[in-house]
């Protein structure tokens, strides 16, 4: 089993020195990856389903991972997730290709359709068709990353006669991980993703998610080139060794652990204790 650390751009890790220390400790302890979260803006005051108070600090994922690329050597640098239909797909493709180049090919591109309507409204991004635009924007990004002469003609994205260099180092492109626990997200993961990511999923919920993914695999054609669908899950805080073994037995390939610590020292203690209790025993 692989292990990651979630929130390398959030809260206390929005401080660059803390992020560097946590990423370095995770790399030394045997974690395989660090993961960012994303909310460009948050509702003020906080209202459901907003996941965080409005003054929670979120560094931009691409900027944060580019910074950490120069401070680490082996860690995979994952977006968990970027809210794709809020973004310009060509600008995002350039940003993430740059991260992949700067990191020597360590980017993992996690994406989702989003769920927080006030955020979409503030950004001027349509909310109702976010699922279809997620698919279209991903196809546009793959075109500019992989085609010799990139061209794409969709309902909202059109381009031809252009190029964008450098391309990502990873071929044909960085791994694509689809987040979300709705039927469209499961189908998107099966049909388009190298992996699926579930956030804050306990064991019973994860078992239901995996059953839904299995159902999606019966409904959606999966290209052989995508390989086995890699399952990454952020479990509830306080995951024990027995819990981690049960996740593994369900078919989870990676646990992306969520610290509850709010200080640098407590975060480093979390990394050390998780390495001792989980990573070194199950990796």
* Distance from C-alpha of 234 to C-alpha of 163, rounded to nearest angstrom: 37
Q: Domain count for the chain, please give it.
A: 1
DSSP string, 181-227: -SHHHHHHHHHH-SEEEEES--HHHHHHHHHHHHHHHHHS---GGG-
Residue 80 has what pLDDT?
A: 97
Question: For residue 256, what are the β-bridge partners?
Answer: 4
- The enclosing domain of 183 has a CATH number of 3.20.20.30
Domain housing 43: 2-282
The string of pLDDT tens digits covering residues 239-272 is 999 999 999 999 999 999 999 999 999 999 999 9
What pLDDT was estimated at residue 75? 98
Asked if 40 contacts 86 with a C-beta cutoff of 8 angstroms, the reply is yes
pLDDT band at 222 (very low <50, low <70, confident <90, very high): very high
Name the token pair of 86: 């809020």
Share of the chain above pLDDT 70, in %: 100
Count of beta carbons in the 10 Å neighbourhood of residue 77: 28
DSSP E strands, the chain: 2-6, 33-36, 76-79, 82-83, 107-112, 152-153, 158-159, 176-179, 195-199, 230-234, 254-257
pLDDT tens digits for range 141-177 = 999 999 999 999 999 999 999 999 999 999 999 999 9
* Span 171-190, pLDDT tens digits: 999 999 999 999 999 999 99
- The pTM of the full predicted model, rounded to 2 decimals, is 0.97
Instruction: Return d(Cα 98, Cα 38) in angstroms, integer.
Output: 18
């Amino acid at each position: 089993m692989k292990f990651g650390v979630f929130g390398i751009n959030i809260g206390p890790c929005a401080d660059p020195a803390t992020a560097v220390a946590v990423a370095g400790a995770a790399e030394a302890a045997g974690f395989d990856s660090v993961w960012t979260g994303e909310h460009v803006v948050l509702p003020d005051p906080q209202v459901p389903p907003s996941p965080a108070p409005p003054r929670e600090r979120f560094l931009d994922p691409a900027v944060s991972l580019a910074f950490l690329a120069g401070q680490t050597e082996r860690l995979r640098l994952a977006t968990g997730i970027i809210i794709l239909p809020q973004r310009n797909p060509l600008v995002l493709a350039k940003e993430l290709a740059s991260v992949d180049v700067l990191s020597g090919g360590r980017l993992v591109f996690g994406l989702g359709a989003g769920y927080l309507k006030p955020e979409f409204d503030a950004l001027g991004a349509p909310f109702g068709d976010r699922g279809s635009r997620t698919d279209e924007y991903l196809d546009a990004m793959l075109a500019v990353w992989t085609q010799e002469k990139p061209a794409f003609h969709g309902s909202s994205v059109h381009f031809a006669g252009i190029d964008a260099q450098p391309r990502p180092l990873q071929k044909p492109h960085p791994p694509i991980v689809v987040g979300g626990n709705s039927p469209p997200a499961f189908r998107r993961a099966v049909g388009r993703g190298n992996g699926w990511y579930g956030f804050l999923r306990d064991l019973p919920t994860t078992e239901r998610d995996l059953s839904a993914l299995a159902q999606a695999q019966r409904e959606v054609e999966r290209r052989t080139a995508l390989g086995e669908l890699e399952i990454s899950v952020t479990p509830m805080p306080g995951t024990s060794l027995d819990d981690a073994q049960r996740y593994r037995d369900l078919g989870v390939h990676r646990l992306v652990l969520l610290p509850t610590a709010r200080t640098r020292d407590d975060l480093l203690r979390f990394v050390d204790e998780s390495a001792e209790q989980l990573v070194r025993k199950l990796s």
